[in-house]
Amino acid sequence: MRVLIFLFLCCSSPLLQAQELTINYREKGFGHYTEIGALAATKNRPDNVTTAAFSFQTVNGYRFSNRLFTGLGVAADLYATQTIIPVFASVRTNLMDKGIFVPYLFADAGYGFDVTTSTTDQRYKGGVMFATGIGFKIRFSAVAGFHLNMGYRVQKGSIGTAGNLNPYTNQRIALRAGFYL
């Protein structure tokens, strides 16, 4: 038992010291986020298609301070029967400005263009998109690091025949990982 306590103390000491390490964070300038992840679903569409979607997005913008970033982004959301390309504005704010592990909040809003090929039987139209959530960053340096986030994402659109489009709302839980600059 004493050996286990000794090993625990020896192994945890470097971890505790690493958490106290502070990286000087760049205050202002260009910022970039790239994320990849899944969009978990609920059954709420007129065509009864409910599967998890794959999502990739990138956001480029300006960091006004250590706590505020705004930017413009583009994504590719690959659903089971549709492909939607959201173009959006993004706001992110760090909840802390020191340390290696930094929690943050984000909000995205824009329009998702449905690029699915329409047929004579089926028409697709995009719509408004918004997302909000929380995440945390693991800083590698003053300008770069890894991040994970979880949020709620809504994508509106329409599906149906040429004369009768039925509106739908994809409401998804987004789980993403990526890097930032």
Q: Is residue 120 scored above 80 in pLDDT?
A: no
Q: What pLDDT, on a 0 to 100 scale, did the predictor assign at position 119? A: 75
Alpha-carbon dihedral sign for residues 130, 136, 140, 143: positive
Domain range enclosing 73:
28-180
What CA–CA distance (Å, rounded) separates 25 from 98? Answer: 8
Whole-angstrom CA distances from 45 to 19, 48, 107, 124 are: 45, 5, 24, 13
The string of pLDDT tens digits covering residues 23-77 is 566 678 999 999 999 988 766 555 566 667 899 999 999 999 988 999 999 999 9
**Residue 59 in domain:** yes
Domain count, the chain: 1
- CATH number, position 163: 2.40.160.20
Whole-angstrom CA distances from 179 to 36, 57, 88, 135, 139 are: 10, 11, 19, 12, 10
**Residue 19 in domain:** no
What CA–CA distance (Å, rounded) separates 71 from 32? Answer: 8
**Residue 121 in domain:** yes
> 4 vs 69, which has greater pLDDT?
69
The string of pLDDT tens digits covering residues 10-22 is 444 444 444 445 5
